[in-house]
Chains A and B, each alone.
Chain A
Amino acid sequence: MKHIIAVLLENEAGALSRVVGLFSARGYNIESLTVAPTEDPSLSRMTIQTHGSDEVIEQITKHLNRLIEVVKVVDLTEGAYTERELMMVKVRAVGKEREEMKRMVDIFRGRIIDVTDKSYTIELTGDQAKNDAFLQAIERGAILETVRTGSSGIGRGERILRV
């Protein structure tokens, strides 16, 4: 089952590699990983998307908690949460394709952030399924380049992860 784990950790050199090392050393899988400092520059927040049985996820959260730099760990998928991913896609856009592409971007509530006479660069945010759907909706041959950040997740309503 898909799990989104949010981690608050000390913003120190090497902390990220400890988290990544833990996954590789114990044979766990990371599907996506986003990390950046929070409003408190001494803290980083990480969102890890992974797959695993309940037992594996339990071990992952326990091992994350064991790392000295980790302050808090929460499995967002245990409750209500929202997730977003930023995706940028550069597509070929010439002739009548340009109009069609523009329409698709509008339907998916994306934005064109760079234009040349042969291409568009499109910005899309949403959960990963929506971004996947966009890629499937447009003509595969038109895609020149794709870059995705991976999921960032946050609990809904009163669910707050902070020190």
Chain B
Amino acid sequence: MEITQAEIASAAAASAAKDQELRGAEILVKSLQAEGVKYIWGYPGGAVLHIYDAFYKQETIQHVLVRHEQAAVHAADGYARATGEVGVALVTSGPGVTNAITGIATAYMDSIPMVIITGQVPTAAIGLDAFQECDTVGITRPIVKHNFLVKDARDLAMTMKKAFHIARTGRPGPVVVDIPKDVSFNKVPYAGYPESVEMRSYNPVRKGHGGQIRKALQLLLAAKRPYIYTGGGVLLSNASAELRTLVDMLGYPCTNTLMGLGAYPASDPKFLGMLGMHGTLEANSAMQNCDVLLAVGARFDDRVIGNPKHFAQNERKIIHIDIDPSSISKRVKVDIPIVGDVKDVLTEMIAMIKESTVKPDADALGAWWDTIAGWRKRDCLKYDHGKNDVIKPQYVVETLWNMTKDADTYVTSDVGQHQMWAAQYYRFDEPRRWINSGGLGTMGVGIPYAMGIKLAKPDSEVYCITGEGSVQMCIQELSTCLQYNTPIKIVSLNNRYLGMVRQWQEMEYEGRYSHSYMDALPNFVKLAEAYGHVGMLIERAQDVEPALREARKLKDRTVFMDFRTDPTENVFPMVKAGKGITEMLLGSEDL
């Protein structure tokens, strides 16, 4: 038998790899490299110093030093939402972890694939109330898909493999890996990053049940008033193309939730706009009056269906596609559940339609579209442009949309009135372009999301639509934007109020504006300048367009646009809490 030189060399390399002793921190870095991680957002501290030292000695992963751990997690989350890859953040023990909690919970509620590496005090000190110790696994348990405490450096590579596998498969979510300081320091043999992972207790389903899909299709094709209701699951499963094919083949009306915007093109006539608490009249009325509802990767959130009693009044048949069985029949009774990955299920459904001889009932569908046209005539997103110089917030968003609709743009938002105006007036035609915190409703995500996306998409335009309240919750990240040259455009709709709180106080508390007026606001122009950026103050409606135009031209600079908007403006349509989704306020005249 002949042994070639190459075989000898590879055998030698294999045995060298086997004998190779590495520190835990080095194994961690190798694991991240093997997972294809390009960026990591973090903040150093005592418990992660070995890990930071290992980062110093490598060049493939770029670490971004944020100004607060909350922003590290949000930035990694924004990156994950825009790219579909797993976002990675690194924080130290104790306060590092507690600062990261809001970010982790935000990602958990919206099912975002993330791995968060946290430092921990040395194993020997765990449980002794050591300096900067906290029970990370315990604290994060309710807000993660899973978490690990690594007690031995020898387990590190396999734990990382599992963490990434769990984060990105099934219903995605954040996974925390807690690494004690001695585990990152100890040298152990390293035989390479595991190629595969097997967990007998974790086998997420991908393929939907064929029989169920067939049954669903029969129901769907026999519908007189069909409706397709889609959520963030379509984006998470990268199934926008399949959704478009399905909707176009059937010719049925379609809506997206706040989380699903962009899954179906907003400018297509079959799209009825967003539904729910601040959804359109046509989207909500169709939801209430349809006879067959196809729910795709959406979970019937309370902000979507309003009062469940009112929702249940119309006995529609419901087909629900979701990868997570616990989301099915949670809030509403479902007639045909299909557990599986949205992309796989829709692909199979499309194939079955192609084979099927049954066609949708054209007459019934025509009548249904006529009904919808009647609702549409109300033009519920029409707003009063106001008089003189007053800037209407809707106008700012609409102007931005008109200006950037053909450009390669991403829009992040914070949480509040501005978020709803952004969702209503910026029309998203592509998936993963609208990035905001839907489930948890976290203020302060806007700037970190934008800087996370800008790093991954340096040639795209990234806008953060925010308010003067939200933006101040993570405004320190303007500093990070300068250091890492991530020029984002901040569109602040400044109405001097915590607008959504003020709106609710107006409608539910007889105008007792308890602590919703924000006095002593900073001079945002000077603040932006202090951070090394460009600040703009816009106070008149006629200056909105020129300001946005100028900001766009400043490609390499972060620009903070402080739009002084009409402080009395409210978000319409609106469904008040506890009301049915068609009990809508369409404008201030309905109050």
Question: Which residues of A are in contact with B by a Cβ distance under 8 Å?
Answer: 9-10, 13-14, 17-18, 21, 25, 55, 58-59, 62-63, 65-66, 68-71, 163
Q: List 15 A-B contacts (CB under 8 A).
A: A10-B201, A13-B149, A14-B141, A17-B138, A18-B141, A21-B141, A55-B329, A59-B326, A65-B325, A66-B326, A68-B166, A68-B199, A68-B201, A70-B201, A71-B200
B149: chain A residues within 8 A (beta carbon): 13-14
Known contacts: A55-B329, A59-B326, A59-B330. The answer to whether A21 contacts B199 by CB under 8 A is no
Asked if A9 and B201 make an inter-chain contact with CB atoms under 8 angstroms apart, the answer reads: yes
A13, A21, A68, A71: residue with the most chain B Cβ atoms closer than 10 Å:
A68
Tell me the nearest residue of chain A to B141, going by C-beta: A21
Count A-B contacts at CB 8 Å: 37
| Docked CA distance A70–B202 (Å) | 8
A62: chain B residues within 8 A (beta carbon): 325-326, 328
| Docked CA distance A70–B329 (Å) | 21
| Docked CA distance A71–B324 (Å) | 16
Q: Which 4 A-B pairs have the closest CB atoms?
A: A62-B326, A71-B201, A68-B146, A62-B325
B145: chain A residues within 8 A (beta carbon): 68
Asked if A14 and B142 make an inter-chain contact with CB atoms under 8 angstroms apart, the answer reads: no
A62, A69, A70: residue with the most chain B Cβ atoms closer than 10 Å:
A62
Extra A-B contacts (15), CB below 8 Å, given A66-B325, A68-B145: A9-B201, A13-B149, A17-B138, A17-B141, A59-B326, A62-B326, A62-B328, A63-B326, A65-B325, A68-B146, A68-B199, A68-B201, A69-B201, A71-B200, A71-B201
A21: chain B residues within 8 A (beta carbon): 141-142
B474: chain A residues within 8 A (beta carbon): none
A17: chain B residues within 8 A (beta carbon): 138, 141
CB distance from A108 to the nearest CB of B (A): 40
| Docked CA distance A10–B199 (Å) | 10
User: Could you tell me how many residues of chain B have their Cβ less than 8 Å away from some Cβ of chain A?
Assistant: 18
Q: Which of the residues A18, A66, A68 comes within 8 Å of B324, measured between beta carbons? A: A66
A58: chain B residues within 8 A (beta carbon): 329
Interfacial residues of chain B within 130-146, with CB under 8 A of chain A in the complex: 137-138, 141-142, 145-146
| Docked CA distance A18–B141 (Å) | 7
CB distance from B118 to the nearest CB of A (A): 15
Tell me the nearest residue of chain B to A24, going by C-beta: B142
CB distance from B187 to the nearest CB of A (A): 25
| Docked CA distance A115–B138 (Å) | 43
Q: Main SS of the interface on chain A?
A: helix
Asked if B325 and A68 make an inter-chain contact with CB atoms under 8 angstroms apart, the answer reads: no
| Docked CA distance A68–B146 (Å) | 7
A9: chain B residues within 8 A (beta carbon): 201
Q: Mark B45-68, 1 if CB is under 8 A from A, else 0.
A: 000000000000000000000000
| Docked CA distance A65–B200 (Å) | 12
A59: chain B residues within 8 A (beta carbon): 326, 330
Q: Which of the residues B137, B324, B326, B329 comes within 8 Å of A14, measured between beta carbons? A: B137
B146: chain A residues within 8 A (beta carbon): 68
CB distance from B591 to the nearest CB of A (A): 35
A14: chain B residues within 8 A (beta carbon): 137, 141, 149
A66: chain B residues within 8 A (beta carbon): 324-326
Tell me the nearest residue of chain B to A22, going by C-beta: B142
Tell me the nearest residue of chain A to B201, going by C-beta: A71
| Docked CA distance A10–B202 (Å) | 11
CB distance from A26 to the nearest CB of B (A): 10
Asked if A163 and B141 make an inter-chain contact with CB atoms under 8 angstroms apart, the answer reads: no
CB distance from A5 to the nearest CB of B (A): 15
B326: chain A residues within 8 A (beta carbon): 59, 62-63, 65-66
B329: chain A residues within 8 A (beta carbon): 55, 58
Interfacial residues of chain B within 423-439, with CB under 8 A of chain A in the complex: none
Tell me the nearest residue of chain B to A71, going by C-beta: B201
B199: chain A residues within 8 A (beta carbon): 68
Interfacial residues of chain B within 322-338, with CB under 8 A of chain A in the complex: 324-326, 328-330
| Docked CA distance A86–B341 (Å) | 45
| Docked CA distance A58–B328 (Å) | 10
A55: chain B residues within 8 A (beta carbon): 329
| Docked CA distance A80–B325 (Å) | 26
| Docked CA distance A58–B146 (Å) | 22
Q: Mark B287-327, 1 if CB is under 8 A from A, else 0.
A: 00000000000000000000000000000000000001110
| Docked CA distance A69–B202 (Å) | 7
Tell me the nearest residue of chain A to B199, going by C-beta: A68
CB distance from A118 to the nearest CB of B (A): 41
Asked if A25 and B142 make an inter-chain contact with CB atoms under 8 angstroms apart, the answer reads: yes
B200: chain A residues within 8 A (beta carbon): 10, 71, 163
B137: chain A residues within 8 A (beta carbon): 14
| Docked CA distance A9–B200 (Å) | 10
Tell me the nearest residue of chain B to A72, going by C-beta: B201
CB distance from A95 to the nearest CB of B (A): 51
| Docked CA distance A116–B527 (Å) | 81
| Docked CA distance A66–B324 (Å) | 8
B138: chain A residues within 8 A (beta carbon): 17
A25: chain B residues within 8 A (beta carbon): 142
Interfacial residues of chain B within 197-223, with CB under 8 A of chain A in the complex: 199-202
CB distance from A144 to the nearest CB of B (A): 35
Known contacts: A59-B326, A63-B326. The answer to whether A68 contacts B141 by CB under 8 A is no
| Docked CA distance A112–B166 (Å) | 51
Interfacial residues of chain B within 376-406, with CB under 8 A of chain A in the complex: none
A68: chain B residues within 8 A (beta carbon): 145-146, 166, 199, 201-202
A13: chain B residues within 8 A (beta carbon): 149
Tell me the nearest residue of chain B to A14, going by C-beta: B137
CB distance from B494 to the nearest CB of A (A): 38
Tell me the nearest residue of chain A to B325, going by C-beta: A62
